[in-house]
Amino acid sequence: MKVNNFQDHIRLVHSGKEYFETLKNILQAARYCIHLQTYIFEEDETGKEVAEILIQKAKAGVKVYVLVDDFGSKELSKKFKQNLLAQGVQIRSFSPFQIFRLRFGRRLHQKIVVSDMKFALIGGINIANKYVGIGRKEWLDYAVLLEGEIVRQCFWICQQFWNKKYSRDVFIQSKHIFLLQQDFFRGKKEIAKAYREAIAKAQNEIWIVASYFLPNKSLRKLLISKTKQGVRIKILLSAISDVQFFKKATEYLYAELEKAGIQIYEYLPSVVHGKVMLVDDTWATVGSYNLNAISEYMSVEMNVATTDSNFIETLRKDLQKTFTDESVLVQHAYKKRNLFTRFYFWLIRFVLKLAIRFLRKNRQSYLRE
């Protein structure tokens, strides 16, 4: 473990123009090396604009490495990839997706950009128009911009995935910023553990922003137990969903949570894609990790946790505004529990259990990706 003798900085970044302006700025600032790893890279206006910047940097002598998930970025054309390669951008797909040979996991779900070991941008935001807000309200999502010595650790993590060589992590000890990884196949369970520990230690309140929210029974029990101890819990979910059957499964849980005293809010302007938790104004996390079995067992995820008081104050004010001004409190949640929500809930649970069992049996083959 290396001791960090430099001041690390963390800043909250929102989806929309703010995120993509920040992304373009740190890409343009690169002089030596860029790592970009993401689940979705779409061949739309946003994707083409980012690709053009990467090409320009490659032509200027910057080493550019792009790693995209094979399933999440399945719409990327061969022509698009070949053009990037021809212009000097190194791009490849993570874990080729196959149906008949059942090679459907492990998925690269982390979203991270590292520029010259100077800047790192980490969160839940993919490279696509819907996160910018072209022609419609951008999806609600978050990222953090990191500066300082901790960016070296971000770089080393990206290098491991690019080179397919997973060695012992070199940790940078920071006073208030912590990188968390989730990768079941490599025994990385840091994000799931951090969520549970932070919830267990909560004394006053917990704020959660979640997409594709389907926590397992033990996590729901933990949340419910905290309300019995007097902890106030507020969860922001999406009123508008891009995956309707998953939303219906989530709605099956509303009644159980509301009965326990947990407040469920639905965000109205657009889809919620953010993954955030704030506990007691002392600890917060932002990243790509969803509170469901897919993120816990089947995906490569990265979150940033922090105890930085300035960041937490900014995040709290932001969440208060979003919950109050742009969302509605769900009441009489029992009305959402019906045969359809019950069916989707149990169906998804059943499919995920089968998938996880299969992946455990084939764990070693996925570590080669």
Structural domains in the chain? 2-175 (3.30.870.10), 197-355 (3.30.870.10)
Q: What pLDDT is recorded for position 3?
A: 43
Q: How confident is the model at residue 226 (pLDDT cuts 50, 70, 90)?
A: very high
Q: What pLDDT is recorded for position 95?
A: 80
Whether residue 308 has pLDDT greater than 50: yes
Q: How confident is the model at residue 338 (pLDDT cuts 50, 70, 90)?
A: confident
Whether residue 305 has pLDDT greater than 70: yes
Q: What pLDDT is recorded for position 259?
A: 93
Look over the chain and give the mean of its residue pLDDT values, rounded to a whole number: 91
pTM score? 0.93
- What is the 3-class SS of the chain, one letter each residue? CEECCCCCEEEEEECCHHHHHHHHHHHHHCCCEEEEEECCECCCHHHHHHHHHHHHHHHCCCEEEEEEECCCCCCCCHHHHHHHHHCCCEEEEECCCCCCCCCCCCEECCEEEEECCCEEEEECCCECHHHHCCCCCCCECEEEEEECCHHHHHHHHHHHHHHCCCCCCCCEECCCEEEEEEEHHHCEEHHHHHHHHHHHHCCCEEEEECCCCCCCHHHHHHHHHHHHCCCEEEEEEEEECCCHHHHHHHHCCHHHHHHCCCEEEEEEEEEECCCEEEECCCEEEEECCCCCHHHHHHEEEEEEEECCHHHHHHHHHHHHHHHHHCEEECCCHHHHCCHHHHHHHHHHHHHHHHHHHHHHHCHHHHCCC
Whether residue 4 has pLDDT greater than 90: no
Q: How confident is the model at residue 104 (pLDDT cuts 50, 70, 90)?
A: low
Q: What pLDDT is recorded for position 122?
A: 98
Mean pLDDT confidence for 310-325: 97
| pLDDT tens figures, 106-153 | 899 999 999 999 999 999 999 999 999 988 899 999 999 999 999 999
Q: What pLDDT is recorded for position 165?
A: 83
Mean pLDDT confidence for 314-324: 97
